[in-house]
Chains A and B, each alone.
Chain A
Amino acid sequence: MSNFNNDPVIDISNLSVDFQTQRGDVRALRNVNLTIPQNKTVGIVGESGCGKSTLINSILRLLASNASITSGSIRFLDTNILEMTDSELNDLRGQKISMVFQDPMTALNPVITVGKQMIDILFRDSHSRNAKREKARDMLQMVGIPDAEDRLDDYPHQFSGGMRQRICIAMALMMNPALLIADEPTTALDVTLEAQVIHLLQELKNSFQCSILFVSHNLGLIAELCDEVVVMYAGEVVEQGDVFDLFHSPAHPYTQRLLECDPARIEKSTDELPTISGRVPDLIELPPGCIFSPRCVSKFEPCSTQPPPEFVVNEHHKVRCFLSQDG
C-alpha cells in the first residue's frame, strides 16, 4: 500500500510518556521526534531501558494501564493515532500497521493450525474461504516455507524456530500494511538463521512496498538493514540520521562510545574491551541537564545544567548535544 503524496508513514512529534509507579512517575519517553518515510527502513537502536519498547507500544496504543501520554502526537499518514477511536484503532492494527515480535515460540497460538491462524487475519476480507487459503499458501511460499499447501494444516510446534519467525512475518504482511514494526525479531535465532530472516525482510520490503521500523540492540543488523537510524538513550532520542552518516560520522558521544564498544567493530583482537562507565540514570529522578552527561567524557559547561535541544548537523542528521551546537 503506498500513498500518492509524500506524507511520511509515521510522524512522531514531541512524544512524552510517563508510567505511574509506587515510587513515583517514571519518565519513560521524553520529547521524542521521529519520522518514518514511505518505503524506507528505519532502525531504532538502544540498550536496556532506553525506551524503545515503550515507543513502539505507543504507536499501536498498546501501553500498560499505568502509562500516560503526557504530550505529543503520533501521525499515521494524515491522522493522529492518539486521537483515534477504538474502531479506528482496530482498523489500524494488523492491517495498516502490523508487528513481528521477538519470540516466535510464543507469538503463535499453539492449539490452532498455522493455516487457520493466517486465514483468521483476513477476517475483514469478504472473499471465499478457498481464496483466503490460497492467499495464505502464497504468503508461506513467499517467506520460503517448502510444501506450503501441506504445511498450512500443521501446528506451530511442528515448525522450527526459524520457520516460525518466517510465518510470523508472513502473517504480518498478509494485509499489505503500510508499516511493519519488527521488535528484535532475530534475537532468539542463531546467527545463520538471523542472516536468512534479515535477507528475507530485505526482499519482502521491495515486493511489498512497505516501510519497516526495525528495533534492535545489535548495531550490525541496523547497519545491514536500515536506511535511517535513531539512537535512543534513557528515554530520549539522542541522535538520528542516515545510516552512513551515523556509522561514519556519529555526532553524539553516546553513539560514538557505543560504536567503540561493539566487539565486531574492533579490528585488532584486544585484551581489554572498552565499556561505558557508570550506569543508566534513574528515570524517576532525572539528573539536570543532558541525560548522558553523568557518563560523558566530553562534557563541558552547559551539559550538566541545561538539557540540550536538537541541533541539525545536515538535512537528515540531528543530534541532541551541545557539542554540535555550531553545526
Chain B
Amino acid sequence: MGNILSINNLRVRFRTDGAVRAFIDRNQDPYIDAVLDVSLSIERGKTLGLVGESGSGKTTIGRSIIRLVDPAGGTIMFEDEDIGRMSSNRLVTLRKDISMMFQDPVASLSPRKTVGSLILEPFKIHGIDKINQNQKARELIEMVGLNEAFLGAYPHQLSGGQARRVGVARALALNPKLVIADEPTAGLDVSVQGEILNLMRRLQVDRGLSYLIITHNLPVIRHLSNHLAIIYLGRVIEIGSTKDIFTNPAHPYTLGLLSAVPQPDPNKRREKLKLEGELPSLSRRPTGCEFHTRCPFAVAKCLQESPIRQEIEPRRFVSCHFPFPLSQVKV
C-alpha cells in the first residue's frame, strides 16, 4: 500500500525567553522541546490515531506537518519530499494536498465571512477561480449533509455540529490526500458524535483519504483508527495497530491510559492500573525514561537510561526497558 506520510525523529522547539531575558537569567538554552523525537507513518487510505494528554505535543506534531510551526530536526516525508525543507512556494501547493480540521469548530471559521465564502476560501487562495463557484459551493455543502440555505449563514449562527460539518467541507474542498483532524468530536454530544465520524469514514472510502486523528478520546479512536501512536512528553512511546494496542498494551503508560477510561458499566469498576502524579514540566524533563516519575514499575535502570525503541512484533514499537509481554492478555 505504501505510506503517504513518514515522520522520522521529528523535533520541534519553542522559545521560552527572549534574548535579553535569557541573558539576564543566564539561560543558555531558552527553549523547550514540545516534540523531542517522534517517528511514525501513515498508510495510504488508512487512519492513524495520535493519542496523548494535554502537553504531550500531539497538536504540535499536527501543526508541523502543515508547517504552521517549523521543525528543528528530523524529516517529514510526504511523497518523497521533506516538508521541513520545502520552500514557501511549494508549501502553498502542499496545502492543497494536506488540510486540517480544527478543534473548536466555530472558532476556526472567520467570524465575518459567510459559510459559502469560507468553503470557497481554498479555491480563492490557490487562484482556482475558473470553476463555477456557486455550483462548487453547493456541491460541498451538500456533501456534508447541510442544505443550500446554510451558504448564507455566519459562523455564530451555527450549532457546534453544523460548524464541524462546514469545517469538513472546507477541508475537503480541494480534494486533499491527507486530512489532519484535531479532536473531531470535542464538544459533541454522544448521540450525535457518530454523525461526524460516519461522514468522515464514508468520505475516506469514497475518496481514498488518509487521516491523522489527534485526540485524547480513547473510546472514539478505537473505532476510528487502524493504527495508533501514543505520545508522552513529545515522544512516541508505543505505536502499532489499534486492535493490538487495545487488547495488549505493552507500555505501562498505555495501560494506565486505558485503565483510566471510565467504563459505562457499574460492574466494571475496579481499576487495573492507577497513574499518580501529573505530566512533568517540559522545561524540567525527567532523566532516563521520562515516564519513570509516574511509572509503578520503575526501577533504577529507568531513572538512568533512556529506553531504545524496540520492535516487539512486526510493526509494533515500544520505548520501554520492560514492556509487558505480549502473550499476557490484560485488558
Give the interface of A toward B (CB within 8 A): 47-48, 160-163, 190-196, 198-199, 217-224, 243-244, 247, 257-259, 261-266, 269-276
Contact = CB atoms under 8 A, between A and B. Distances in A.
Given A190-B53, A266-B223, A221 B190 contact: no
A272 B267 CA distance: 27
B319 interface: no
A275 B195 contact: yes
Contact of A47 (B191, B198, B259): B191
Interface of B: 53-54, 189-195, 197-198, 201, 216, 218-220, 222-223, 242-243, 256-257, 259-269, 271, 274-276, 278
Contact of B220 (A217, A221, A263, A271): A263
A217 B264 CA distance: 11
A141 B54 CA distance: 25
A190 B51 CA distance: 11
B271 A195 contact: yes
Nearest to A47: B189
Nearest to B195: A275
Most B C-beta atoms less than 10 A away, residue of A160, A195, A221, A243? A195
B241 to A, nearest CB: 11
B216 A265 contact: no
22 contacts: A163-B278, A191-B53, A192-B256, A192-B257, A193-B278, A195-B262, A195-B275, A196-B274, A199-B271, A219-B190, A220-B261, A220-B262, A222-B264, A243-B266, A258-B191, A261-B190, A261-B191, A266-B223, A270-B223, A272-B201, A275-B194, A275-B198
A214 to B, nearest CB: 12
Nearest to B161: A279
A262 B53 contact: no
A198 B260 CA distance: 10
B263 A224 contact: yes
B264 A259 contact: yes
Given A258-B191, A261-B194, A276-B191, A219 B222 contact: no
Contacts of B216: 190-191
Contacts of A275: 191-195, 198
A257 B189 CA distance: 13
Given A264-B263, A271-B223, 7 more contacts: A199-B271, A218-B262, A220-B261, A223-B266, A262-B264, A272-B194, A275-B191
